Amino acid sequence: MNTMSKYWAIVWKMVDHADVVLEVVDARYPSICRSNRLEQAVNERDDVELLLALNKSDLIPREVLNNWIDWLKENENLDAIGISAKERLGTSLIRREILKKVSGKKATVAIVGLPNTGKSSLINTLKGRKSAPTAPMAGHTKAFQKIRVSNSMMMFDTPGVIPVQLPREHKYLLGVMAISRIKDPIDGAWLLFDQFESIQPGKVAEFYEVENKKNSFLENLALKKNRMLKGGEPDERLAAIQFLKDHIRGIIPIYEDIKNPLRYNN
């Protein structure tokens, strides 16, 4: 059994033992980090409820978040809640919505989602102290754990699943490419730049206060950040690494809008 098959086997096992499946999604890019395969399988069951947690919602405007929540409800009949596990925002609402799904009874919850969406951080926030292991490297959680987060709630922490058909540029956008493992950061930076330009043209240049020219972005960024080679030439490789790190840290304010989604489903 290959790695993807093993990950899916764990997910299905957790779903089989859950009352509620909580799909954690990056609120900045909902259309590309949801799993149609998972959602369809759960919706076909009568014994399991589905709830979406739009995590990292502190990184997008409230209006954009509300538009996504309304769209998911009106168009796909999905309940979604905006949260920020890191900032401890919306987690009380998550508790209430989960228990409402099971009519106030005790609930077992399967937390699923792609790497780097914040599954383990959400568990730790709900519990109130560190329980599930977290790490900046995508895919840190390797096997599921059952964790009691309250007297009325148990949770399974599951490994994130990267679909094999996920385009490489979307892996950069979702931050699932560990920088230490990127052989060509310049290539990765251009892939990320192109994704940003397709979502919000000109926003990257505006954020870094550099000239908005695609072919010279890394050169201009290197000059702006004083990343120079010996001899005074701009170091585009260091600029690319800086750009990728800034994105993973969540400081670049770029996000997709429901009016201009990336339109990729997995």
182 shares a domain with 153 = no
74 shares a domain with 30 = yes
Q: Is residue 197 part of a domain?
A: yes
Cβ within 8 Å of residue 216, ≥6 positions away = none
What tokens does 29 get? 């890019």
* CATH number, domain with residue 139: 3.40.50.300
52 shares a domain with 122 = yes
> Measured between alpha carbons, how far is 217 from 223 in angstroms, rounded to an integer?
10
Angle between the 91-101 and 119-127 helix axes, to the nearest 10 degrees?
A: 90
Cβ within 8 Å of residue 130, ≥6 positions away = 124
146 shares a domain with 220 = no
181 shares a domain with 104 = no
Residues 79-118 have pLDDT tens digits of 999 999 988 899 889 999 999 999 878 999 999 888 888 8
Range of the domain at 187: 168-249
Residues 145-199 have pLDDT tens digits of 778 888 899 888 666 666 556 788 888 888 887 888 889 999 999 999 999 999 9
Q: Are 246 and 207 in contact (CB under 8 A)?
A: no
19 shares a domain with 92 = yes
17 shares a domain with 129 = yes
181 shares a domain with 103 = no
The number of domains in the chain is 2
Tell me which amino acid residue 266 is.
N
* CATH number, domain with residue 244: 1.10.1580
> Measured between alpha carbons, how far is 203 from 106 in angstroms, rounded to an integer?
46
Residues 48-58 have pLDDT tens digits of 999 999 999 99
195 shares a domain with 65 = no
**DSSP category for residue 234:** B
